[in-house]
Amino acid sequence: KPIEDFLGGLPNRFHFEEYAQRLLSTAQRSNTDMALFYIDLYGFKAVNDNLGHEAGDEILSRVGNSLSSLLRRGDMAARVGGDEFVVIVDPVTDMDRLLMILEKLRSLILAANSADFSPYHVSASLGFAYTRVHGYELQDLMRIADSAMYEEKKAHHRQKKYASNDGKLTLAGVK
């Protein structure tokens, strides 16, 4: 089976799950905490639909390359679906470190934008699971992180509905 997604050179879901299972087993035996992040690109569909698949592929490639450059030895990122990515980080010693990684991931996604994609803009909804709280079962961690990501995505859509187009009304967190 192929182990790599063709855009960005990231591992695919199959390879990610295989690696993450081993990493989680080792972490549990050594009582080390890890975090799993689920990322969904917001605005990707508009880029893909309006600027073409080449522009969409460029966004996916930029995100994949950026994720690869951010990770430390032993961490892993993978593209698991159209515009969805997953990242596992080991070790994550506390919630402060986890939140710092979350913000780095969010900034990294924003950095994938360029004037070439104007007026469209890509951001991300992110969710996470933390072994200290959620245990060491990969499928549970992925489900929890995915669910948290969708909650953030729904909140983003609810906030967006109330932002006016005239620029007079803006809500915190709406990008």
Q: Which residues form the catalytic set?
A: 83
In one-letter notation, the amino acid at residue 105 is L
Query: Rounded distance, CA 20 to CA 5, Å?
Result: 17
Query: Rounded distance, CA 46 to CA 52, Å?
Result: 9
Q: Please, which residues bridge with residue 36 across strands?
A: 88, 129
In one-letter notation, the amino acid at residue 69 is S
Query: Rounded distance, CA 67 to CA 109, Å?
Result: 9
| Opening angle at CA 18, ends 17 and 24, nearest 5 | 80
For residue 105, which of 67, 145, 158 has the smallest C-alpha distance?
67
Query: Rounded distance, CA 52 to CA 41, Å?
Result: 16
Joined tokens for residue 167: 């620029």
